[in-house]
Amino acid sequence: MSQTPPGRTRQLPVFHCPYCGEEDLIPHGEDPDGWRCGACLRSFTVHLTGTGVQRP
């Protein structure tokens, strides 16, 4: 089972499917960032990879 890394909190929920745009989403799988769309039946994960802000 996937664990949330230390110091990291779960992100806000996803509001629409990135494939079809529908809002019929439910948490899916063992990944805490996993979602399943009830409209197009796709499952996906969403992970933040960066903010675009560079550190000095």
Give pLDDT, residue 10. Answer: 56
Give pLDDT, residue 46. Answer: 84
Among 10-19, 33-42, 47-56, top mean pLDDT goes to: 33-42
What does the DSSP 8-state code read for residue 20?
Answer: T
User: Which band of pLDDT confidence, cut at 50, 70 and 90, is reported for residue 9?
Assistant: low
Give pLDDT, residue 14. Answer: 84
Are the C-beta atoms of residues 52 and 24 closer than 8 Å to each other? no
- Report d(CA 34, CA 29) in Å as an integer: 6
SS (H, E, C) the chain: CCCCCCCCCCCCCCCCCCCCCCCCEEECCCCCCEEEECCCCCEEECCCCCCCCCCC
Give pLDDT, residue 1. Answer: 45
Q: pTM of the prediction? A: 0.64
Q: Which residue has the higher pLDDT, 53 or 34?
A: 34
